[in-house]
Structure 1
Amino acid sequence: MELAPHIFRKYDIRGIVGKEITAEFAYYLGRGFAEILRKDGRKEAAVGRDCRLSSDELSKALSEGLQAEGIKVISIGVCPTPQLYFTLFYKKVEAGIQVTGSHNPPDMNGFKLCIGEETLAGEQVQAVREAVERAIKKGRDLDRNATEETLEGIKDEYINYIISNCKPFMGDRTVKVVLDAGNGVGGLVGPQVLRGLGCEVEELYCEPDGRFPNHHPDPTVMKNIEDLKRKVVEIGADVGIGFDGDADRIGVVNEKGEVIYGDMLLLIYARYILEKEKGITVIGDVKCSDLLFSEVEKAGGRAIMWKTGHSLIKHKLREENAELAGEMSGHIFFKHRYFGFDDAIYSAARLVEILSRTSLPLSKLLADVPRRVSTPEIRIEFPEDKKFQVVEEAEALFSEYELIKIDGVRIKFPEGWGLIRASNTQPALVLRFEASTKEKLKEYQETVYKKLSTLAEIENWGF
């Protein structure tokens, strides 16, 4: 079989089903990953999957490949990605793979790889690619006859763990929640967790359906949360919560149906923890508002800006011994009272915990924070083989400005900033802007677009 090297991305594996991601590929991925596990002295791996139409076939082939190389497979079935992480952190299973396309289109699928409590990224993912290539050369004439078992009761353990983690801290207010799982796997556990915490829950699209018939499962894209916003206002809910396809990312709207971006949500969590625990470290990705970092410092915390990517943030969380981290995209990582992996279901539980302890509406929790005008994350379709080169060339174009080059190019303007980076998950450039006024925001956007246009022809700037 032919391997498509570009599907081995910075922090996971993703590609088009039937073309780049096939059952045959999944089998050899299992073989290659197993080789790495055996060299590391590991003998077992948990396998979970989302509800995409291709995930069942892929997980079976993956398990076959793992077993052929002598790795015992512990099946946890259809589940959110955080439930796989929970299996590794809480049950101490030695490794794991989640078959998931996350928030990508239905014709795509992929794999998130973990060894112990570490999610593989960068060179580790490339090492898996090399192992898969070796497995393909060997062919199928191998059978070490490892076993497979189903881990019974793990879903209930996961649900009950989150409830018992948050329930002692719940206040007197009954929180009214609209939950939109986007027909992803978060609907299997999210409603039970929230009801277990005493919330009144209105469910939207909580039945898993890999066709995603109602909207695409990505709550960071505005058109995907229109129904959520409308329902929150219609029934007078305190909060609207959306999950992506595998429930490792959260989207939130307040009681007015207004979106709370991931960076401001992270600030809400940070200030809540900092009320009692000064000096904690909080990490935000390069797409986050300047306000996140300044307000965390103001509240007595230590703020760090870091690269985008769930694997990369988790690495940094451990390195800095941080209690909390997050991304604009809605990946939130709680080490505080939890394990430090990205979990939209646990993040939802922590949000209703905060709301249950205050009489203030969600829209007022950041009322004292200075107002800024910002764009959402702007994704511009761009060729996979050219996106990193354009970002590299953009550095020279903006050399007269102060630049932050942690991940892409973040340009510091007098009253705001602009970001240009290559997406690690899609053939796209990612842009975001923030400024003190609408006029300044427009000015900074036009400055960036004008300069970028000298490097590439872009028909749709995403606004």
Structure 2
Amino acid sequence: MRHSFHPSILREYDIRGTVGRTLGPDDARAVGRSFGTVVRRRGGSRVAVGYDGRISSPMLETALVEGITASGVDVVRIGLGPSPMLYFAATPAARALTPEVQGGVHVTGSHNPPDHNGFKMILEGAPFFGAGIIDLGRIADEGAFASGNGRVIEAEAQGNSIIDAYVDCLLGALDGIDKAALERLRIGWDAGNGAAGPVIAALTARMPGHHALLHANVDGHFPNHHPDPSVEKNLTDLRAAVVRGKLDFGLAFDGDGDRIGAVDAQGRILWADHLLAIYAQDVLQTLPQATIIADVKASSTLFERIAELGGRPLMWKTGHAPIKSKMKEIGAPLAGEMSGHMFFADRYFGYDDALYAAMRLIAATVRSETTLGAMRDVLPQRVATPELRFAVDEARKFAAVDEVARTLAAEGIGFNATDGVRVDTSEGWWLLRASNTQDMLVVRAESTTAEGLSRLLAEVDARLAAVGLSRE
């Protein structure tokens, strides 16, 4: 039987929609059947499936599993957890619990609103995105599904715990770190009522030091704040807890545990490019001259800092799948993007895992023998906007960016077209790009002064007005 997806849900690097409007169990079943078909075409026979803490996730996971098994592919169910735990389940490190798994699908709405949900996929150790997702839509539209009777295997049925194995792996990031120094640390952890909460509780129970957990119970209504640590207001509870509790720093996570945020002892936010600079300093100690990737939204100070430390900075497209693919292509040990996705391929698997990133941040601060705030202050202070997002019709967002690019080219103004348009000026830079996960355009700008930043934003607004759009 053929199935047509709502055209808005097949995104560049995942599948995502609004439950009850553009996404439902029939779609989940078709995703499973199509993905299973691709797995079989590549000679595979088994995948792992997990889901996050959203209210709709169990329903969608059930339908997804039905679709995969109907294609003749076995499913290893790992249950509720963060997306990185699903990725971990598909690695050789988890083979005792998930034998012969060729890939995986996680049901998750990530950082999106509570009524959104979707699917992230990996296959043969690589992200499944772009042309792969288009192919899923084609298979479903044509009804070209493989058929069979796959089995369902519960990963916990043998009495072994995926969470325990995952936590064991995460703790490996602290190997060789001075235990006495770890004992002195006081850290806050805000799970945002997302799927990472149970793993954080299990992880911190086995770690030295004092750990204050916030919103660690899973609740798909997200009653305390929205789980997106790249948005300042979502860090209010963590900032207050760190200052009130005299903690060394605080860590925050998104709904499916693949984005990290952080604040220092004063409650100051460390944005993702601050964090990536700290990680770069740590990684380049053992891998000098390594290439380190950051997305087009990152500060110019980050790229300068990587070069200053002896590394090779590379600007690349925003998105967890493009970043992971580029890392694998060139053998980069570290990458990150402004949304809070951090990727480690030195001593880890190269995918975005905020919990592992948290452990590496702890290790980096101990190795540096200084505070997180002091490491932040090494970077030159620039004035920058956060990500400024505004709604634009799905059919319009990419076209608008293309129109701005054509105008810039016609005027002889140079720009970086890696992902959208990033324009350097004597006062800083500005960026305009289309979101791949939402019906939005994204603007970011950075300058050495507040006045310069205002002028950059005025230029962006003028460019938008010329194509009939406004950020208001």
Which TM-score bucket, shorter chain as reference?
over 0.9
Tell me if structure 2 keeps the 8 A contact 1:11–1:311: yes
Distance of 1:261 and 1:421 partners within structure 2: 19
Q: Distance in 1 between matches of 2:333 and 2:363?
A: 17
SS of 1:207's partner is coil
Contact 1:49 1:59 in 2 (8 A): yes
Q: Name the structure 2 match of 1:167.
A: 175
Q: 1:31 aligns with which of 5, 30, 33?
A: 33
Pick aligned residue for 2:315 from 305, 313, 316 = 305
1:402 matched residue in structure 2: 414
Partners of 1:175 and 1:356 within 8 A in 2: no
Q: Distance in 1 between matches of 2:457 and 2:148?
A: 58
What residue is the counterpart of 2:195 in the other structure? 185
What is the distance in 1 between the residues matched to 2:443 and 2:180? 41
Which blocks of at least 5 consecutive residues in structure 1 are unaligned?
none
**What is the CA deviation profile of residues 316-339 of structure 1, one whole-angstrom value per residue up to 9, with x for unaligned ones?**
001110000000000000001111
Moved more, 283-292 or 393-402: 393-402
User: 8 Å contact 1:243–1:344 — kept in the other structure?
Assistant: yes
User: Deviation string for 1:248-276 (max 9, x for gaps)?
Assistant: 00011111111111111001000012123
- Output the amino acid matched with 1:199: G
1:88 is matched with: 90
CA deviation after TM superposition for structure 1 residue 417, in Å? 0.3
In the TM superposition, residue 358 of structure 1 has moved relative to its aligned partner by 4.3
1:132-171 map, 5 Å: 132-135=140-143, 144-152=148-156, 153-170=161-178
Contact 1:194 1:349 in 2 (8 A): no
Check whether the contact 1:171–1:356 (CA below 8 A) recurs between aligned residues. Answer: no
Aligned match of 2:118 in 82, 86, 110? 110
The CA distance in 2 between the partners of 1:157 and 1:459, in whole Å, is 46
3-state DSSP class of the match of 1:60?
helix
The more displaced of 367-376 and 293-302 is 367-376
In the TM superposition, residue 20 of structure 1 has moved relative to its aligned partner by: 1.7
- How far did 1:370 drift? 2.1
Please list the CA deviations of residues 191-240 of structure 1 after superposition, one character each: whole Å capped at 9, or x if unmatched.
33234331311111010011111111111111111111111111111111
Measured against aligned partners, the alpha-carbon deviations of 1:41-69 in whole angstroms (never above 9, x if no partner) come to 00001000001111101111111111111
Deviation for aligned residue 1:277: 2.5
Give the CA deviation at 1:143: 6.2
* Equivalence map 1:415-430=2 (5 Å): 415-430=427-442
CA distance in 1 between partners of 2:427 and 2:319 (Å): 27
Question: Which residue, out of 17, 39, 54, partners 1:52?
Answer: 54
**Code of the aligned partner of 2:154:** T
Contact 1:435 1:441 in 2 (8 A): yes
User: Normalized against structure 1, the TM-score is what?
Assistant: 0.95
Residues 83-92 or 117-126, more deviating: 83-92
SS of the residue corresponding to residue 433 of structure 2 reads strand
The residue that corresponds to 2:64 in the other structure is: 62
Whether 2:218 is the aligned partner of 1:208: answer yes
Please tell me whether the aligned partners of residues 177 and 237 of structure 1 are also in contact (alpha carbons under 8 angstroms): yes
1:445 aligns with 2:445: no
| 2:291 alignment partner AA | T
1:48-447 matches, within 5 Å, as: 48-89=50-91, 90-91=93-94, 93-135=101-143, 144-152=148-156, 153-170=161-178, 172-173=180-181, 174-399=184-409, 400-447=412-459
SS of corresponding position for 1:365: helix
> 1:293 and 1:144, CA in 2 relative to 1: closer, same or farther beyond 3 A?
same
- Is contact 2:284–2:311 with CA below 8 Å preserved after alignment? yes
Distance change in 2, residues 1:402/1:170 (3 Å):
farther
Partners of 1:10 and 1:365 lie apart in 2 by 35
Q: Which moved more, 1:442-451 or 1:309-318?
A: 442-451
Q: Distance in 2 between matches of 1:311 and 1:449?
A: 30
> 2:286, 2:169 → 1: CA distance?
23
Shift of 1:384: 1.0
Q: How far is the alpha carbon of 1:451 from its aligned partner?
A: 2.1
Instruction: List per-residue Cα deviations over 1:419-442 (Å, max 9, x = no partner).
Output: 000000001001111111111111
- On the 8 A contact 2:173/2:363 being kept in 1, the answer is no
CA contact (8 A) 2:461 2:470 kept: no
Contact map agreement 1:103 1:244 (CA 8 A) in 2: yes
The one-character-per-residue Cα deviations of 1:361-414 (angstroms, maximum 9, x if unpaired) are: 211113333221111111111111100011001113333432000000000111
Kept after mapping to 2: 8 A contact 1:286/1:306:
yes
